[in-house]
Every structure is written in structure tokens, then in C-alpha cells.
Structure 1
Amino acid sequence: MNSRLGSVLLSLLMSASVMAGEYNLTVDRVEIDTGDFVKNGIGYNGASPGPVMRFKEGENVKINVTNNLDEMTSIHWHGLILPFDQDGVPGISFPGIKPGETFTYEFPIQQAGTYWFHSHSGFQEPDGAYGSIVIEPEGREPFRYDREYVVQLTDKHPHSGDRIMRNLKMMPDYYNREQQTVGEFFSDVSENGLMNTVRDRMAWGGMRMMKADVEDLQGFTGLINGKGPDQNWTGLFEPGERIRLRFINSSA
């Protein structure tokens, strides 16, 4: 009887250890090379993007986050169902993580799928503080695959997030590289007529917008898993294999 009880207890202990995972993350100053330019940024565990964090549905996770910056930081677990005080939004769910301190997030994993994590402090996220999350389901997947890749899409600009915001506040079209010229005005007059061209310019002027103002920030480099176009991130596979791609759009 004692032997059977001991066996049951051992089994329960082994099950509990499987259901609890502990992870460590550091928030660091890093160098980011896009292939077009190199800039200083912020990353996790010494790199940007940070690691792919892998959880299992049903487990309880403990994530120790150490802030190696000289400013406050935080981590928001984007899309995860968790207690509000673990959500990582400074001033709402918790105060934030001070320089040199370690904050431990603890929450149950209640879902499966593809998610991501990022800083919720200042402009640290567009400056490189992001990473991906893969959560395996408790049961069997409804499909089979031979291998998988996370494909995390983002972008980088040579300027820091703080500098970009400062420039945009000073001049909304600061980064607009397609502003119209006097020559284009006369070309439009030739094609569309004087009054139509003047009305068009006055309409845009009334909206306080440039005609080419389709986005407020130009000059960035698009990245896949931290690699620029010339660096050519590559996912290898064998002919005939079934590949699962987990796409995350974390562009700023």
C-alpha cells in the first residue's frame, strides 16, 4: 500500500514539474545591423529580435526579466489571456521594471498559437525590443508538418523612436521624400488644366497634408526575423516536406 502511494505521489510530482516552466530574459542595449545601416537599439538576451519563447498550453510559466538598461522597461505579452497585473503595461497593470531590477511574471498558459512580446515603455519596441511566442496545444494539432518557422515582420529606421517623434512634432512631413515640385505643378497644369491643378493643390492645402503623404515615416528598412532584404533570411527545407510558417506582423 505504501509503495503504491509513493508511486502515485512520484507521478504527481513529475506531472507538476512538466506543467511549470521558468524562463529568463534580460533587456539589453544591442547593435542592430539591417544590411542598409547599423544602429544602436534595445533587445532581449543580447539580440534583436529576442528569442522565440516556447510555451505549452496548460503550463504555468514564470519569466524572470532583468532590466540592464539605464531606464525603465516592461514586457507586454501581446494577445495572451492572463491576469491584468501580469499584462506588462506601466501605469495600468504594474509600475514597470526599474534599471538593475528583476521582475518576475507568473501566469497560466490558457491558449495555443502564435503570439509575440514587446516592450510597452517609450519607443523601446520600434527600437528593437520585441520577440515571438509559440504555444503548443495540449492535444494533437489538427494537421501535420515536418518543420516550422516563425516569420516575424518588422521595420527599422536609422533614427531612434524618440528622434522620429521629435522630428514629426516639429514638422509633420519631415520624412516625406516625395514632395511635389514647381516643375510637377506645371506638368499637372499641362495635363489637367490650370484651374483643376490649383483646386487640387488648394484641397490638399486645406487638409494640411502633402499629396504624397501616404505614410508619415519614409526611409525605413523592412526586416524578416531581424534580417534586411540584402541579408536574405532563409528557411531551409527538403523537397516534399510540409512546412508550417507562423507569420507575425510586428511592424512599427
Structure 2
Amino acid sequence: MKKLILYLAFIGLCGGASAQMPMNMPMGPKKKPVPAKVEPSKKAPVKAADNMKGMDMPMAKPAENMPVVPGDKTVKFISPPPHTVRYDLYVKDTIVNYSGKPKRAIAVNGGLPAPTLYFTEGDTAAIYVHNTLTEETIIHWHGVILPNQYDGVPFLTTQPIQSGKTHLFKFPVVQHGTHFYHTHSGLQQQIGLYGALVFYKRNERPAKEYTMVLSDWTDMNPKEVDRSLHNATDWFAIQKGTTQSYAEAIRSGNFKTKLANEWKRMNAMDVSDVFYDKFLINGKAEDVQSQFKAGDKVRLRVTNGGASTYFWLTWAGGKMTVVANDGNDVVPVEVNRLIIGV
């Protein structure tokens, strides 16, 4: 009997955690490693989709005295010490197909979600956001300690990036952990403008790790989703099979509660109340990482980039040990499963 030991780290849009998990896994000579499974709080489709087409992105030329980091698919440059780490993010319209219907999405550097950005405490982050959309956009650095003018909330801290324009976000990295970046322009996050941030501790880096961004996808226009929520329609509940009739409320002794909620225009199931066509792991319906073998110790960093979905995370081989939350170290605690909130 061999052991497969994973070391996990998690973060959500408004909440998250880090975890470490020892796991006993039977390993036969012809068996493949058992991948981690992520399940949404509601049943999610698992068939992989033909996700994205036609997303070739322009690449920036290296700045003077800033060599390209080999093996990195994202445009990144690192200056001589003290380090200034530069990324160029190209925001562009694209078409995806997760359910058999081509739909508009937003890609960053040709992908959905946006690429994970890596820094170390003490670095200076220089992130150039190039807006190639036909509308304005902006990026907010969630939970990041930085100068207020770079926070990325339009008209409150930062002016929107107009179509065809480039904006530089430059700030010192003074923290560590797994964090998150996403747009605050309209409803663009629902169609792909989000990604993970990783801030390493000084002089500390795990031997093996993997960053995983969870998200939800609907073929419905985000504006129509917003309209349906404001009108408190039962359409999403009908699609998910979570409607509640007056007869059911009477039988369960909750008729007065049902009336009170109706008066407040609150649906019976008013948490995660949008029906989604797909739930995604790094932009795919299924994500298998076969490079991890029995005996490996792996840190898994998980970010919830979903608009309104809570995900349950479980591991087939044993318990997980949570070691951090929202980028902050915590006293390690073992759990059987972990909910990744929004």
C-alpha cells in the first residue's frame, strides 16, 4: 500500500482556504493515479465540451533589459534584482462552445480563465492590461494590498480602460498566498474575465503544486440573467427542479414562511439560484493531472471564479488538511470535504 500525499491551497471570490491532505491510495501495477474531483453543490455535467476556438492573441515584445522567462506561455518579463515582474494581459472577445451552442466570451491571452500570475513577496508587479474589446473594461485585484489608484474598481478607484487602450497596474507585493483577480466592468466576469494570483513567500516554494480555477458557465446573456433575478422568476428553479408549491409548504408546516417569502419576492431556494449549463475547472468540464504520482506531495491552490456557485471539494484517498484561507495561514485542520464559497 503506497501513500499519495497532497498539499492543497484554496481561495474563493469572497472566501477561500488552503489545505493539506494525506491520502491512502491502493496502487496496482496497471492503475492510473486517481485525480481529485470537484463537484458543485448542485449536480454538474461532466462531459467535456469543445470549449474555445479562434483565440490567437498578439504577443508583446520584450522590454529592454527584461529577458523572457523560458517555458512560460504568458507574456512575462523579470528585471534584474530587485525584481520587477511584468505581465502583459490582452483582453479580447472570443467564441466558446460548452453546450453545443457557440456563445460570446472574453479571453485573456487566448484563454478562459485568464492566466495565473505568479509573484514573490518583495517583487514589484507591473501588469499591463491591453483592452482589445469594443467596450471598456477594468481588472480588480481581489484581496491584494496595493495603492488605492490600482485597486481596479471603475470610477471609484480607477478609471475604466477604454477600447483600444492600455493601462499599467504597478504595485509592490507585500503579502503571500493564493488570491484572485477579476473584472468589475458590467457583467464581464460571468463570461470569462477572471483568474488566479499566486504570491510566494520569500525563499519558500513547494516542490510540486497545481492551481485550479473553478467557475460556472451559462449560455444565457448575463444581462438576461440579471433581469430574471431582479424579476424573481421561477425559471431557474424550474430548470434545476427546486420549485416549491403551496401544497408542499402546507404539508411541511411552512405556509406562513412561504407567504412571507413570496411577499419579499424571495424564491424558495435563494442561494446559488442560477441554472448553469456547465461547471468548469480551468475552463474545462473535466481536468485530469496525471503527472502527479503515488508518494507525491502537492499543493493544490483552488480559486472560485464562479458568479454564484458554491463548490464542494473532496478527495477520493482521504482527508484534507486546510492550512490557509484567503491567502492567510491558519492552524492546520483536517476535513473530509471543503466548501469553496463565492
TM-score range, shorter chain: 0.7 to 0.9
Residue from 100, 117, 129 that aligns with 1:53 = 117
What is the Cα deviation at residue 249 of structure 1?
1.6
What is the Cα deviation at residue 54 of structure 1?
0.9
Stretch moving more, 201-210 or 97-106: 201-210
Of the two structures, which has the highest relative contact order with CA contacts closer than 8 Å and spacing of 6 or more?
2
Indicate the structure with greater strand content: 2
Stretch moving more, 42-51 or 98-107: 42-51
Equivalent-residue separation in structure 2 for 1:107 and 1:211 (angstroms): 45
Stretch moving more, 131-140 or 95-104: 131-140
The equivalent residue for 1:233 is 287
1:246 matched to 2:310? The reply is no
Equivalent-residue separation in structure 1 for 2:148 and 2:129 (angstroms): 17
Residue from 271, 279, 285 that aligns with 1:222 = 279
Equivalent-residue separation in structure 1 for 2:227 and 2:259 (angstroms): 28
1:74 matched to 2:135? The reply is no
1:131 matched to 2:195? The reply is yes
Q: Counterpart of 1:126 in 2: which secondary structure?
A: helix
Name the Cα RMSD after superposition.
2.6
Query: CA 1:209 to 1:85, structure 2 compared with 1: closer, same or farther past 3 Å?
Result: closer
Q: Contact between 1:173 and 1:210, CA under 8 Å: does it hold in 2?
A: yes
Indicate the structure with greater helix content: 1
The equivalent residue for 1:3 is none
The equivalent residue for 1:150 is 211
Equivalences for residues 1-252 of structure 1 within 5 A: 16-34=80-98, 38-140=102-204, 145-177=206-238, 178-180=242-244, 185=247, 192=251, 202-228=259-285, 232-236=286-290, 237-252=292-307
Spell out, residue by residue over 1:150-189, the C-alpha distance to the aligned partner (whole angstroms, 9 max, x if none). Answer: 12111111112222112333444342213346xx83x787
Query: Could you say which structure has the larger radius of gyration?
Result: 1
Spell out, residue by residue over 1:65-97, the C-alpha distance to the aligned partner (whole angstroms, 9 max, x if none). Answer: 110101110011111110000111111111110
Q: Counterpart of 1:162 in 2: which secondary structure?
A: helix
Equivalent-residue separation in structure 2 for 1:96 and 1:89 (angstroms): 8
Q: Contact between 1:29 and 1:46, CA under 8 Å: does it hold in 2?
A: no
Q: Contact between 1:176 and 1:213, CA under 8 Å: does it hold in 2?
A: no
Query: CA 1:150 to 1:35, structure 2 compared with 1: closer, same or farther past 3 Å?
Result: farther
Which letter does structure 2 place at the counterpart of 1:105?
A: F
Query: Number of matched residues?
Result: 226
What is the Cα deviation at residue 207 of structure 1?
4.1
Which letter does structure 1 place at the counterpart of 2:118?
A: R
What is the Cα deviation at residue 111 of structure 1?
1.1
The unaligned stretches of length 5 or more in structure 2 are 1-77, 308-342
Equivalent-residue separation in structure 2 for 1:42 and 1:62 (angstroms): 22
Q: Contact between 2:249 and 2:258, CA under 8 Å: does it hold in 1?
A: no
Stretch moving more, 116-125 or 216-225: 216-225
Q: Counterpart of 2:211 in 1: which secondary structure?
A: strand
Which letter does structure 2 place at the counterpart of 1:218?
A: F
Which letter does structure 2 place at the counterpart of 1:223?
A: L
Q: Contact between 2:90 and 2:130, CA under 8 Å: does it hold in 1?
A: yes
The equivalent residue for 1:9 is none
Q: Contact between 2:79 and 2:85, CA under 8 Å: does it hold in 1?
A: no
Which letter does structure 2 place at the counterpart of 1:225?
A: N
Equivalent-residue separation in structure 2 for 1:205 and 1:105 (angstroms): 46
Stretch moving more, 147-156 or 65-74: 147-156
The equivalent residue for 1:6 is none
Equivalent-residue separation in structure 2 for 1:212 and 1:112 (angstroms): 37
Query: CA 1:131 to 1:212, structure 2 compared with 1: closer, same or farther past 3 Å?
Result: closer
What is the Cα deviation at residue 238 of structure 1?
1.4
Deviating beyond 6 angstroms after TM superposition, the runs of 4 or more aligned structure 1 residues are none
Equivalent-residue separation in structure 2 for 1:109 and 1:188 (angstroms): 53
Equivalent-residue separation in structure 2 for 1:69 and 1:198 (angstroms): 50
